[in-house]
Structure 1
Amino acid sequence: MPRKNRLFIEGFPHLTQLKGHNGEPLFREENDYTAFELALALAAKRYAVEIHSYSLATERVLLMVSAESRLALSSFIQYLGRRYVPYYNHRYQRYGSLWENRYSCSPLQASTYYLIVKRFIECNEDGVKSHHSDGLSPKDIIVPHQEWLNLADDEVQQHRRFKEFCCTPLNAALVIRIRNTLSQNCLLATPAVSKRLESQLACSLQARHRGRPRKYTPSNIDIRINIEQHAAAFLRQRGYQQVRLSLIENEFLLTQKNSTLFSPVRLRRDGTTGCLRLMTDTHSQQSMSRIWYSGTMFGQRHHNQSLQQSDQVGAEAFDMAGIDIELEQLVLQALFFKQLGIAEKTELHLNMLGDPSALKDFRRALDTYYRPHAHLFAPEQQEELKFHPERLINSNDPLLQLLATTAPNINDHISTDSQQRFIRLQLALNQAGIAWHHDTQLFPRNEYCQIVFEWRNNDIVISRGGRYDASASRTVGYPIAACGFAFLIGPIAQLFDKRKVELNSTSSIDIVIIASQPRVAVQTVLLARKLRQQFPELSIMTDSSQLRMATRHKNSRNQGAKITLEVEGDGYSLRLYKAKDPEYETTTIESVGDHLGKILWFR
């Protein structure tokens, strides 16, 4: 069977990797690194290859290069081998090939992934310690890419900004994607660019999952139910109150002075409309409200009359205009995915939309720009121009791609205050340890402002949300700040591999309180009653049996207890044990509530 042709895309930088045969080290002494860097510089000059980034490690070599053709890139790698391998074999009295199979290669979209891949190479994001020799300076080898030059006007500022970028969290799912695309010789790019190139090259450019595809899809009803139960308990524990939404709702909710106008009914499309109707009915009692809902939503596209059903668990927050609520909800989602064990499979994408007028002005500018060419558009494109002209920018149509090069940019319509607001949110996410990606191609389907976000697994959206102050204010008839998100249960359920991931039963015990001696049994019961009042959503039980202490702790773990409290003989002091942690913390009956609150929030 012939080998697969290596993927090469002209005009794209390529991430390449060389590894030692059977795990053999590529470098043993300092002189080896110097010899390889010399070969690197000579090969780049000989075949007109630009090296944008590189790192040398004992186990592997990573390079990001730009070449004029596939032949130039292949010749570049071959020259490295002809220069370095004979030197290495002669120095260490060996023979044969030094490389493991062919070199790995992955083209990447520079506008989105250049800095990320440069960080992956130089900041040891692959977990391998890198080394640069004391011989040639990297400046003698590296040719700056245009994306690097766009960071700042001078070299000092460029290095400073890249250093700041490397200090921000990097999502584990993104590292896994880079590794998979590199090992499978696939494209690292946004969905829009990937689809366009796939249509041009008539082949699949996406990394594939390992193993044979399943012949059937097993039922995941139990997983869906379990995820919904976990989401409900998770939101209740964090101060969100449940509301019940009607399956049938009015098409529009329009408040004018003291009259409300409704059009014919429809099936529920989202939970936000029902939550806003609740805010309209109970405005006098609502202040800084946090509510959540669950249920089935029914969507319908303009070109398709069939309904699309999706199960969601959503959360909305009202009367909070600062970035604190946006940060809270993003942290909530990150913690929930971590609790489910899928955090390493998710990526957070953000985009800044500015104040409510910014997106309107941007769409108006796009309409003015595209309208003279509208007679050349397909019916679907004319529909997009009418409602969502920003989607034309990322179209695969050759005409629209040409027009997009000079199309208006949303940044020209965003105020300085909104930009500073977005920077503060980015810094807060960095402090919270949440990796994010500024996706300038992310625009909402509904009317949002300031911030819109999506959590994705590759191209599959598992949660989405943002701020919608103007839309909410217009709907309820008075000024109100609103921010929310929705977990998409179906896509989340697809992330679970039943052979590897199992959700803990929601009926497991949260806290077990053990009486170390019979004389403190009463204090144990009173403490349990106090904690049930303070944390009504938690399952709490006591153990005042006469079993050995080690046996009671073992029983607590077997019941799935997240926290075990041991009341000491004085009836006042406590030992707090976390699940799977042999060490304990000391606290008191009076302060245990505050202590538990911090643990339960960040778990």
Structure 2
Amino acid sequence: MSRRNRYRGAGITQHIYDRGNNKQIIFVDDIDRAAFMSSLFTRAADYEIALHAWVLMSNHFHILATPKHPGAISKFMQAVKSSYTQYFNSRHSRTGTLWEARFKQALSQDDNHILILYRYIELNPVRAGMVRGPRQYHWSSYHTNARLVPSENITPHPYYLLLGIDEFTRAQAYRNYVAGSFDKDKSQYEAEVAVLKTTAANLAVFGSEEFYKKLSAEIDYPITHFQRLTILAERYAAEEDEL
């Protein structure tokens, strides 16, 4: 079976996900995490990839990014994964593949979905039971997006910028949005997570019918279309309530 093509266009925000082979640990300690992030930031600058959000877990990572040039995401990910494999194998005296497979990507045009992805990515450590809140976890972009910790490597997404007139109001609005997942928006958030997990294994598109048709014309195999993640999540939550 031939390998499926990646979406190679530019200017489309993408949720990128990858993990270790057989779910093995790929970040043993903070030295490993620092090495990976150094490579990620360096290659993002090299290929002109705007990084909006990210998190490192023990055996996988998530990033939210927008490429400026066609084909840049694939080159970027290949460079990051190759360099980190060489580093990891050398440091931990091992050989062979480190990664499970080709990275997963989901494409988004929807403004609300972008913020859902911000929250989904940065709350990974909380869902995994590693910490009680995102502020307690060092290896994510939450500290920049919600706490205004300076980072020249993070580019606010245009839809994130709509949260407020300045960086302080935006950060406050985003903190409130994340906090909602623990109380008033908890059921909605849990439903969003459930829907996102079902799409993680395949190429999915979130956006208008026109957006979906445009991308479908550029990819040689079927892709899943979701017009509004929020609608799907609401349906999922309603079904759960009926059980």
TMscore range, shorter length: 0.7 to 0.9
Q: Which of the residues 188, 192, 195 maps onto 2:206?
A: 188
Gap change, CA 1:348 and 1:74, over 3 Å in 2: closer
Please give the residue correspondences for 1:508-527 in structure 2 after superposition, counting only pairs within 5 Å: none
Distance in 1 (alpha carbons) for counterparts of 2:9 and 2:193 = 22
Q: Decide which of 131, 135, 139 is 1:132's aligned counterpart.
A: 139
Say yes or no: does 1:206 pair with 2:211: no
Q: Distance between the aligned counterparts of 1:206 and 1:132, measured in 2?
A: 31
> How far apart are the structure 2 equivalents of 1:348 and 1:151?
18
Deviations 1:153-204 (A, max 9, x none): 2222211110100111243332122222231111123xxx0x2234333574
Name 1:11's counterpart in structure 2: 11
- How many residue pairs match? The answer is 216
Structure 1 residues not aligned, in runs of 5+: 209-346, 350-435, 438-454, 463-491, 496-500, 504-603
**1:40 positional shift:** 1.0
Per the alignment, residue 143 of structure 1 pairs with: 155
Give the structure 2 partner of residue 173 of structure 1.
191
- Cα distance in structure 1, aligned partners of 2:69 and 2:106: 14
Q: Decide whether the 8 Å contact of 2:192 with 2:230 is kept in 1.
A: no
86-95 or 118-127, larger mean C-alpha shift: 118-127
Quote the residue 1:481 is aligned against.
none
**Cα gap change, 1:138/1:107 in structure 2, threshold over 3 Å: closer, same or farther?**
farther
**Secondary structure, in 3 states, of the residue corresponding to 2:206?**
coil
CA radius of gyration, larger in: 1
**Residues 18-44 of structure 1, C-alpha deviations (whole Å, 9 max, x = no match):** 101111111111111111111011101
More strand by share: 1
Q: CA deviation at 1:148?
A: 1.5
- Cα 1:157/1:99, change in 2 over 3 Å: same
Distance of 2:55 and 2:230 partners within structure 1: 28
Question: 1:75 and 1:155, CA in 2 relative to 1: closer, same or farther beyond 3 A?
Answer: same
**One-letter code of the match for 1:197?**
F
How many Å separate the matches in 2 of 1:205 and 1:75?
A: 22
Whose relative contact order is higher, 1 or 2, with alpha carbons under 8 Å and at least 6 apart? 2
Question: Cα distance 1:32–1:89, how it changes in 2: closer, same or farther (>3 A)?
Answer: same
Q: Cα 1:199–1:143, aligned 2, differ >3 Å: closer, same or farther?
A: closer
Residue aligned with 2:11, SS: coil
**Would the alpha carbon gap of residues 206 and 127 (structure 1) be closer, same or farther in structure 2, given more than 3 Å must change?**
same
Give the 3 Å change call, closer, same or farther, for CA 119–5 of structure 1 in structure 2.
Answer: same
1:241-260 paired onto structure 2 within 5 Å: none
Q: Provide the rounded CA distance (Å) in 2 between the counterparts of 1:148 and 1:180.
A: 25
Name 2:146's counterpart in structure 1: none
Aligned ranges 1:136-535 → 2 under 5 Å: 139-168=151-180, 169=185, 170-189=188-207, 193=208, 195-200=209-214, 201-202=216-217, 204-206=222-224, 455-456=234-235
Q: Where does residue 39 of structure 1 map in the other structure?
A: 39
TM-superposition CA deviations, 1:450-488 (whole Å, max 9, x none): xxxxx5359xxx8xxxxxxxxxxxxxxxxxxxxxxxxxx
| Contact 2:89 2:95 (C-alpha < 8 Å) held by counterparts | yes
TM-score of the pair, normalised by structure 1: 0.33
Identity %: 25
Looking at structure 1, the residues matched to 194 and 150 of structure 2 have their Cα atoms a distance apart, in angstroms, of 27
- Deviation track 1:547-572 (CA, whole Å, cap 9, x = no partner) reads xxxxxxxxxxxxxxxxxxxxxxxxxx
Inter-partner Cα distance in structure 2 for 1:177 and 1:124? 15
Provide the TM-score with structure 2 as the length reference.
0.77
CA distance in 2, matches of 1:144, 1:118: 11
* 2:52 partner amino acid: H
Q: CA RMSD in A?
A: 3.1
